[in-house]
Amino acid sequence: MPKFLQSSFRFLLLFSCLAFQPAPAGQQAASLTATNPQETFDTGSKTDYAAGTVAFATGTWTLTDAVLGNTETDHKNGAQAVRLQQNGKLTMEFFVPNGAATVTVQHAIYGTDASSSWELWAQAQSCNCNKWTKVGNTVFTTSSTLQAAAFNVNIAGNVKFEIRKTSGGPSQLNIDDFAITDFGVAQPSIDNDHLALGNPSGAVTDVSFPSNYLMVKPQYKLSYNRDQGKPNWVSWHLDASDRGTAPRVDVFGPDPTLPEGWYQVQATSYTGSGFDRGHNCPSADRTSSPQDNAATFFMTNMMPQAPGNNQGPWADLEEYSRSFLPSATNPAGNSEVYIICGSYGVGGTGSNGGVTNTLDQGRITVPNRTWKVIVVIPVGDNDVARISASTRVIAVDMPNTQTLNTNWGTHRTTVDAIEAATGYDLLSALPMEVQTAIESKVDTGPVAVPTN
């Protein structure tokens, strides 16, 4: 969890034991009493962009730099939708009494306008401090068809929300069908999805965002950075079903699923550089079939890695992460794992000596650091719900050099530290109290692969 979210959440916890406080002056008391409320914005009227309030079915909302649009160019469900311009806002002036587990919002560009970005912010009444906290990642709206954006909120007690258009400019944005799931309501089981723990950078499959382009494969999911010629991060689930007898394909190659016109890193792009073609999702994590193993050799899954890093503590940590799985040679294994890894910074030292910043005529950035987060849970169902404050989380951050300490345990750090270094929001799908607990701890567990 990013630092500003941690501090906001700790502040919320500090006051959670206080008696109920009345709504501050000028704010409407909670008026949503139904379970899982939804606002369709189909009642009321507002035709000018000056800030003003509208009484909707759920209660009063303030629209700033916003109107209620009902034209053919407004993309909406029903009679109308909110239309935001510039840095417009849509603000609830009342508190939802049952808290919020999740929030879902429909969004689309207005007419044929360019894309926009926006964010969801929350305010818990328990703090009685008028403090807003950002929820989840920034959303990028690129489609003229309404799309659903889902946010894991996990705030108990009275809470209200605000949508903020952050991209500014003349492009307008339609918002519709704001739905809340009450806190404590059981959520659908999420099992084995490679992004079950969250999308660290809010990556989207849209060529308008070449530095944060989401690629979805059956074997893993990743955020690709076209201008760096490597992934920002790769995320995958690993259990016993991913391991089999398929041999290592060992055929590196360009990824044919990259958008047309993008440069494709070649198998030979690292030749003579002094850096390994370092897997993010390892070959040995995908041996259930030749097809699954071959997918790990796409160059979109590679980063320039110093051999001393890739073949040393990084490889040992990969082997250690597989030791949690049950197998014929490890009958004591009883776990499954979620893994997120990547790299950041510029400039590594490979086997040729000296710091190298780029490869392949500047098309590939050589990172300064490599990082990984491993979440270990017992084999079971409804994975996200089973992760708690006591779940083992291993986070490492290693220098991309030849001379680093070969014991991977010495490179352990906190998830918080990796978030601070990368700007990502890791494990964002977990409840905030769980994130606060597990992201601030340095793992102190064993580092050796168990022998049977």
Cβ atoms of residues 287 and 281 within 8 Å: no
Cβ atoms of residues 122 and 5 within 8 Å: no
Angle between helix axes 415-422 and 3-15 (nearest 10 degrees) is 130
Encoded tokens for 63 = 């629209």
Please give the single-letter amino acid code of residue 425.
Answer: D
Q: How many CB atoms lie within 10 A of CB 342?
A: 26
Encoded tokens for 388 = 């708690």
Alpha carbon dihedral 134, 135, 141, 143, in 10-degree steps, equals -170
Please give the single-letter amino acid code of residue 288.
Answer: S
End-to-end C-alpha distance for the chain, whole angstroms: 37
Catalytic residue among 107, 194, 279, 411: 279
Cβ atoms of residues 5 and 432 within 8 Å: yes
CA distance 330 to 70: 63
Residue 237 annotated to the active site: no
Q: What is the DSSP string of 64-118?
A: EEEEEE-STTS--SSS-EEEEEEEEEEEESS-BTT-EEEEEEEEEESTTPPPEEE
Cβ atoms of residues 383 and 362 within 8 Å: no
How would you class 268 by CB atoms within 10 Å of its CB: exposed for 0-12, middle for 13-18, buried for 19 or more? exposed
Contacts of 115 (CB under 8 A, 6+ apart): 109, 140, 141, 142, 167, 171, 206, 208
Encoded tokens for 148 = 């659903």
Cβ atoms of residues 63 and 82 within 8 Å: yes
Residues with a known catalytic role: 279
